[in-house]
Each structure stands twice: as structure tokens, then as C-alpha cells.
Amino acid sequence: MEEQGTIQPAEKKDEALKSRLVAAPRDFFIGPVFAATRQTEGREVLVGERAYTIGGFHPVDPEKKPPALDVRHARALAVIISFRNRFSEDRVIRFSLNEFCNRYARSNGGRYARDIKKILGDLMDTYFRIRNITTKERHTYRIIERFHMIEKEIRRKDDLRANSNQQEMWFDSITLSPEFYEILERIEELQHIKLEVFTSIRSPLAQAIYLYIPSRAHHHTEENPFEITLTTLLNQVSHPVPPQKSKRQQLFIQNKNSIIYQLDGKETLSGFFHVRLAETSDGTDWKLQCWVERECHQRPKLPLPPYRNSKMVKAFLASGRAGDELNKRLSNVLPLDDYDQELMSRAKIKIEGNEKAFELAKALLGKTRFVSLLSEAKGDALEGKPTTKSPNHRLMNRIMEALRSS
């Protein structure tokens, strides 16, 4: 048996690539099983000849009414499967909460850890009831059977619990339910998804669309796209439907990082997913037109803002750093993640209309320094510290100061 320490770099790279290609039940990709918004009760979804009841019931305790699952749970499930050893017959999947957070959100922040524990709890509490419409046969399963936690001594001496008898609870692994494990063993019932592509999509609505619409657009072309009205689409993914046609359109095109922008050109296993909006023939709604392009290249995205002429770039260069370093950082401009937006919301920072500026700041400063400045801004807001102009103005001043001094 080979020792873990003998893995060569090329093998490590192959293992990393494998970990990002995850297989899940095919029904999860051909129907809107995961809602675009958080749910408070159960949902009914028809997928081919199978009718799914998701949440809203508990087979043992009728008093429990767990909610239906949404795209946060789909993302968590994909991450869980990415840690699975496909050749192991063990239902236990081992990973630390820190590792999970990094794959789920590219962050190991405490805020994510708390949210992810709740999401994993939902995956253990929420049941699927599947009824075959033709045979009337029914079966019920959940995804996670149990959590495994271990107790460790308090590591940080400044922790208030360090002088007590308390211990830290560390997440160690989860055990899949026997029913879900059996599904994952039936290769013919699975479909793959690229984890890094799925988690790169920030909008929950865009995530919900990406999960199942590409399977419907698979055999369509730009000249003959798959079409679905926005009203129908939003209803299918359990997203609130704006009553006005213009508001439905706005939902998909507002902001520079719009739903259309996030979805168009996204890679699938069979090509590149493309989307656009068109009016319906009767003029009462808009429809999403979708197709999968099988060429081995992506269409160019919309041009990026002229970063090199920005004040932030000039401040970065004025600090004495080389142009090569600037190019490296400009190639890593990414959308704000959920944790960034949560901090900004608590700091009373206006995000809409300022996304590109903050994304550039994050790339130039680096994730750690950027989050540190957001945390300071959040602290100011919680303490009620006054500002001469606005929280945005104060944060931008700190960003500029950090760029000039680092």
C-alpha cells in the first residue's frame, strides 16, 4: 500500500481535477429540484415520470416540517460528493469544516461555518418522497444519516472557554443514508457537474437555472434555441414572479454582473451554455432562449472596465510594486462572494452600482486584507460611528490608503 506522502505533484493535480467533477442523481439536473430561494415548507416537483415531494414532512415524526431544499443545499451536496472516494464502499465521507468552507465558498470564515452547519442539518432533516406516476410505487429517502463530531481542547488561550471544562466541537465527517448511497452507486442514474463552474456562479437564481436548464438546451442551437418564458421559469424554480413584464426582464439584466452575464458562456460537460432574452410573440412576457455550443472555445465576455486608468491601479503602482504583479492581480478579478456581501450589508455599504470597484479592490489588496477592511467597516456601523459623507466614502478612503501603503 502506498503511503499518502508519496503522491507526486502530477498525481495531486489529477486528484484535484477529479474532486471537482462530481456525480449526482440525474433527476437533480433535469428538473427544478432545488429552489432558487429559501423555502419555509415543502415543494412538489415533476421530473419525467417521477413526482417529487421535497420537505414539508417527516416519515417518523409528523410534528416536524423541514423546509424544501434550495440551491445552497445543492451546492453543499456537490461539495460533499467531491470529497467522496468513488472506489470506497464506506458511506462515511471525511472532511473538516474548514476544507468544506473552502470548496463551498472559497472562504473559511466563521460566518460560513455557522451557515454551512445549518445547511448540512437540513440535508439530514429533509426527506425526498418520490412517486412513480405510472406504477404508483413510492419510496422515501434523505441524504445524510448522521454527523460525526470530535471534542478537542480549546486551542486559543484567549478564548473565554479556555479556563473552563468546555471543549471545542470539531466537525469530522458525515455518513450518507443507505438509500442515497445506493443511488450514487447506480452509475446509469447519475450525471456529472463541474464543481468549480457551479460555485463560480454567485446568484442563487442563476445557480438554479444552471442546474437544470442546460439539460433541456443540450440539443438546441443558436438558430433553434430552447425557449421558456420568464414567468414559467421563475415559477418552476420557486422564485417570486414580478407582476410587471419590465420587472421580470430587469431581474435578468440589471447590474453589470447580471443573471444573463453570469450564465452566458458557462461551461458544461458537453460544451458551453448560452442564453439571451427575447420578447414573446404576443408581447406579454420575455422568454429565456438557451442553447449549448459544442465548439472548444467560449465566446468572449463583455469587455472589462478600463481598470488600468483607475485611481486604485495608480495607487497600487505608486506604492512601488512592479507591473508584472499588477497584471497578475488584474487577471484574478472575481465577483464578490456571499461573505463579502454579508459584511458589506452589515457595514451599510451600498453594493449596487459599485460592484466592479469593490471587485477590483479585492483583487489588488488580496482577499485577506480586503475582508479585514470590510470587518472594520462593519464594526464602525455596529458601534454607530458617524461618518462625514457615507459608509461607502469612508471604506473607499481606507482602500486607497491601504493600496498606497502596502
User: 174 with 222, same domain?
Assistant: no
Q: What is the mean pLDDT of residues 361-376?
A: 87
Burial 380-404, CB ≥16 within 10 A → b, else e: bbeeeeeeeeebbebbbebbbebbe
13 within some domain: yes
pTM, two decimals, is 0.66
User: 167 with 237, same domain?
Assistant: no
On the question of pLDDT at 249 being above 90, the answer is: yes
On the question of pLDDT at 221 being above 80, the answer is: yes
Burial 173-208, CB ≥16 within 10 A → b, else e: bbbbbeebbebbeeeeebeebbbeebbbbbbbbbbb
User: 178 with 234, same domain?
Assistant: no
User: 288 with 331, same domain?
Assistant: no
Confidence band for 171, pLDDT divided at 50, 70 and 90: confident
298 within some domain: no
46 within some domain: yes
User: 190 with 206, same domain?
Assistant: no
Question: Could you give the CA distance from residue 126 to residue 148 in angstroms, rounded to a whole number?
Answer: 18
Among 58-72, 87-101, 329-343, 382-396, the minimum mean pLDDT is found in 329-343
User: 111 with 231, same domain?
Assistant: no
On the question of pLDDT at 229 being above 70, the answer is: yes
299 within some domain: no
On the question of pLDDT at 301 being above 50, the answer is: no
Q: Please give the span between the terminal C-alpha atoms of the chain, in angstroms, as a whole number.
A: 48
Compare 364 and 294 and report the one with higher pLDDT.
364
358 within some domain: yes
Confidence band for 159, pLDDT divided at 50, 70 and 90: very low
Confidence band for 107, pLDDT divided at 50, 70 and 90: low
* Res 330: pLDDT: 77
In sequence order, the 6+-apart residues with CB closer than 8 A to the CB of 138 are 129, 130, 131, 132
Among 113-122, 165-174, 186-195, 322-331, the minimum mean pLDDT is found in 165-174
Domain boundary among 225, 260, 293: 293
Domain boundary among 196, 211, 231: 196
Query: For the range 316-322, what are the long-range contacts, defined as Cβ-Cβ under 8 Å and sequence gap of 24 or more?
Result: 316/364, 316/403, 318/404, 319/403, 319/404, 319/405, 319/406
On the question of pLDDT at 62 being above 90, the answer is: no
Above pLDDT 70, what percent of the chain? 83
User: 3-state DSSP call for residue 128?
Assistant: strand
CA angle 384, 388, 394 (to 5 degrees): 75
Please give the single-letter amino acid code of residue 263: L
- Per the structure, the complete domain to which residue 274 belongs is given by 202-293
Q: Can you list the alpha helix ranges (DSSP code H) found in 167-303?
A: 178-185, 195-200, 204-217, 230-236, 245-253, 259-263
On the question of pLDDT at 359 being above 60, the answer is: yes
User: 216 with 359, same domain?
Assistant: no
* Res 90: pLDDT: 87
228 within some domain: yes
User: 258 with 276, same domain?
Assistant: yes
* Res 273: pLDDT: 93
Domain count across the chain:
3
User: 260 with 182, same domain?
Assistant: no
What tens digit of pLDDT does each residue of 5-60 get? 333 343 343 344 344 678 899 999 999 999 999 999 999 999 989 999 999 999 98
Please give the single-letter amino acid code of residue 26: R
Among 68, 32, 73, which Cα is nearest to 236's? 32
Mean pLDDT score of the chain, rounded to an integer? 82
Question: Could you give the CA distance from residue 296 to residue 270 in angstroms, rounded to a whole number?
Answer: 10
Among 397, 370, 395, which Cα is nearest to 109's? 370
User: 75 with 178, same domain?
Assistant: yes
Q: What is the mean pLDDT of residues 106-135?
A: 84
Domain boundary among 196, 213, 248: 196
* CATH for 269: 1.10.10
302 within some domain: no
